């Protein structure tokens, strides 16, 4: 078959200079950042794969809409535009704007959480878990078995284990389940998609027990692409129709617009139930802002309204998922252990397999993140025992299920040559794995420690 390169379906109109640092400079910068890439300055970074969140390049269309932003306090035109876009897309009547996804999580989980409540998810994203636990509730992750094995192929590795869901409802009692939260795609579980069949099965279980069902819909467009490709019966449907159908199965959603909203800041909570929406609106007005802007400017709301349309364009989504897959395929070809198949927004390297000589207590993922930075100025994020590890009563580490390093790909920002540079760097690191060493934590806060923890090398 004639195989053509999937090109970036855009031309570059504005450029942002990258400062090309030397390895000696980077050694200093990383020491200064106490071996936590989150503490680096962005101009010390060459290729920033720390996150795909809020790092999208906006389109000329979005930038021009920004000039039309209506900054009225109440009832702004820009708000009405964002609200109607989200209503059309989701079918939910009550839309609450927030400055980002975690603020929407706070509105909802602070109201429906609390001691004694249990939340169940395929995998709670870190801010989701923090918001649930901060309310005093418990967060339980039940991905399907295949989702826990990096090398095992499954078309929908992000699925939630519905058998375990029923068992947990039985054990805790439906009245104690705060909500079932389905994260699409499953970010912390490898950016893996969730099938419509799974979303529907969960919907039926939740309806039967009267349990609230929330979609964490940050990457629902990317998820829709996978359903279109891999699930029987969706070939003729548009990506937008697929997303709409999935929203239709749940009672509401939380979305960080910093992902598939294709903007740099924003989010929302959308709900079907008026009473619940009014309860959350009270918190919104106290903590975020008035209900027709949340934490957003009018111009932000214009950009979100357009981003939520652009993200479903077939050429965009095809390029997006294919270019993530390209990085995955190139790395796999040279033998880098990865979560397979690639997810939508990131490639997840299995650091435990890459650095088998570094024990989990010394954070092999942190080690790989540091090596990528030192070698080539690539910044990425550990998703392993630094992010999700806990301590038992004796202060011994209870490690995370996997030790991953996430190479997240900002939307519409990097070209194929940037990605080739990342692949080359891995080829070099593979030649010298035994030189890498572990790290120990010298400071950590009680929640979301990976953002601000400090480390020192174990040598
Ligand atoms: C990013 C993200 C959030 C939180 O959104 P923020 O905008 O970063 O506050 C919640 N859930 C998932 C799955 C995410 O990826």
- Residues 110-123 pLDDT 10s: 999 999 999 999 99
Residue nearest to atom 4 of ligand 1 (CA): 101
At residue 459, the pLDDT reads: 86
User: In terms of C-beta distances under 8 Å and separation of at least 24 residues, what long-range contacts does 440-445 make, across chains too?
Assistant: 440/362, 441/386, 442/34, 443/34
Q: Which helix (H) or strand (E) holds 180?
A: strand 177-183
At residue 401, the pLDDT reads: 84
Residue found by looking up tokens 């059309």 in the block: 88
Mean pLDDT over all residues of the chain? 96
pLDDT in tens, 321-352: 999 999 999 999 999 999 999 999 999 999 99
Distance 100 CA to ligand 1 centre (A): 8
Q: What is the pTM of this model?
A: 0.94
Q: Which of 101, 109, 451 to mutate to test the pocket of ligand 1 (most atoms within 8 A of CB)?
A: 101
At residue 2, the pLDDT reads: 58
Whether the upstream peptide bond of residue 185 has omega within 30° of 0, thus cis, is yes
CA distance linking residue 167 with residue 155, whole number of Å: 25
Residue nearest to atom 8 of ligand 1 (CA): 101
Asked whether 6 and 326 are in contact (CB, 8 A), the reply is yes
Distance 101 CA to ligand 1 centre (A): 5
pLDDT at 448 over 80: no
Of 141, 270, 294, 274, the closest CA to residue 215 belongs to 270
Rg (Cα) of the chain, in Å, rounded? 21
Please, what is the Cα angle at 421 between 416 and 427, to 5 degrees?
125
Of 455, 457, 451, 454, the closest CA to residue 130 belongs to 451
At residue 388, the pLDDT reads: 84
Q: Sorting pLDDT into bands at 50, 70 and 90, what band is 368?
A: very high
Q: Is the dihedral of CA 55, 61, 64, 69 positive or negative?
A: negative
Whether the upstream peptide bond of residue 433 has omega within 30° of 0, thus cis, is no
Residue nearest to atom 3 of ligand 1 (CA): 101
Q: Which domains does the chain have, with CATH numbers?
A: 23-52+313-457 (3.90.1150.10), 68-310 (3.40.640.10)
Residue nearest to atom 11 of ligand 1 (CA): 125
Determine what percent of the chain is predicted with pLDDT higher than 70. 99
pLDDT at 1 over 70: no
Cβ-based neighbour number of residue 291 at 10 Å: 19
Distance 356 CA to ligand 1 centre (A): 31
pLDDT at 372 over 80: yes
CA distance linking residue 240 with residue 85, whole number of Å: 12
Atom of ligand 1 nearest to the CA of 186: 13
pLDDT in tens, 276-328: 999 999 999 999 999 999 999 999 999 999 999 999 999 999 999 999 999 99
Q: Which residues pair with 443 in a beta bridge?
A: 454
pLDDT at 3 over 60: yes
Distance 183 CA to ligand 1 centre (A): 10
pLDDT in tens, 47-94: 999 999 999 999 999 999 999 999 999 999 999 999 999 999 999 999
Distance 459 CA to ligand 1 centre (A): 35
Ligand 1 neighbours (beta carbon < 6 A): 53, 100-102, 125, 127-128, 183, 187, 216, 218, 256, 258-259, 267
Q: Which of 259, 295, 300, 409 to mutate to test the pocket of ligand 1 (most atoms within 8 A of CB)?
A: 259
CA distance linking residue 121 with residue 103, whole number of Å: 19
Cβ-based neighbour number of residue 16 at 10 Å: 7
E strands of 220-299, at which residues? 252-256, 267-271
- State the average pLDDT over residues 128-143: 96
Distance 257 CA to ligand 1 centre (A): 9
Determine what percent of the chain is predicted with pLDDT higher than 90. 91
| H helix runs in 266-335, sequence order | 274-287, 298-310, 314-333
Distance 162 CA to ligand 1 centre (A): 24
């Amino acid at each position: 078959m004639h195989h053509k390169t999937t090109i970036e379906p855009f031309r570059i109109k504005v450029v942002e200079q990258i400062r090309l640092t030397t390895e000696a400079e980077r050694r200093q910068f990383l020491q200064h950042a106490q071996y936590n890439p989150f503490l680096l300055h962005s101009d010390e970074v060459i290729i920033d794969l720390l996150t795909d969140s809020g790092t999208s390049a906006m389109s000329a269309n979005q930038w021009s809409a920004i000039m039309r932003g209506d900054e009225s306090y109440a009832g702004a035109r820009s708000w009405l535009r964002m609200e109607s876009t989200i209503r059309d897309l989701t079918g939910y009547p009550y839309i609450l704007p927030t400055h980002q996804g975690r603020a929407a999580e706070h509105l909802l989980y602070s109201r429906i959480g609390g001691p004694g409540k249990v939340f169940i998810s395929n995998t709670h994203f870190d801010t989701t878990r923090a918001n649930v636990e901060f309310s005093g509730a418990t967060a339980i992750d039940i991905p399907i078995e295949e989702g826990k094995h990096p090398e095992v192929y499954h078309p929908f590795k992000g699925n939630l284990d519905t058998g375990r869901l029923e068992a947990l409802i039985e054990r805790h009692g439906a009245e104690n389940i705060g909500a079932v939260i389905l994260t699409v795609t499953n970010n912390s579980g490898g950016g893996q998609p969730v099938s419509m069949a799974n979303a529907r099965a969960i919907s039926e279980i939740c309806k039967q027990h009267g349990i609230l069902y929330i979609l964490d819909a940050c990457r629902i467009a990317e998820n829709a692409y996978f359903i279109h490709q891999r699930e029987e019966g969706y070939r003729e449907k548009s990506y937008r129709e697929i997303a709409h159908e999935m929203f239709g199965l749940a009672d509401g959603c939380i979305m960080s617009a910093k992902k598939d909203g294709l903007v740099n800041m924003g989010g929302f909570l959308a709900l079907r139930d008026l009473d619940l929406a009014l309860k959350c609106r009270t918190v919104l007005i106290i903590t975020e802002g008035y209900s027709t802007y949340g934490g957003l400017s009018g111009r932000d709301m214009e950009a979100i309204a357009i981003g939520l349309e652009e993200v479903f364009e077939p050429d965009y989504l095809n390029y997006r998922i294919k270019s993530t897959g390209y990085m995955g395929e190139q790395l796999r070809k040279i033998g880098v252990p990865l979560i397979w198949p690639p997810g939508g927004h990131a490639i997840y390297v299995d650091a435990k397999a890459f650095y088998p000589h570094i024990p989990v207590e010394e954070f092999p993922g942190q080690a790989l993140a540091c090596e990528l930075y030192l070698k080539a100025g690539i910044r990425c994020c550990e998703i392993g025992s630094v992010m999700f590890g806990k301590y038992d009563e004796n202060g011994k580490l209870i490690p995370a299920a996997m030790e991953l390093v996430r190479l997240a790909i900002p939307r519409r920002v990097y070209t194929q040559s940037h990605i080739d540079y990342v692949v080359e760097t891995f080829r070099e690191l593979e030649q010298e794995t035994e030189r890498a060493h572990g790290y120990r934590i010298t400071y950590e806060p009680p929640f979301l420690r990976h953002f601000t923890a400090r480390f020192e090398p174990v040598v």
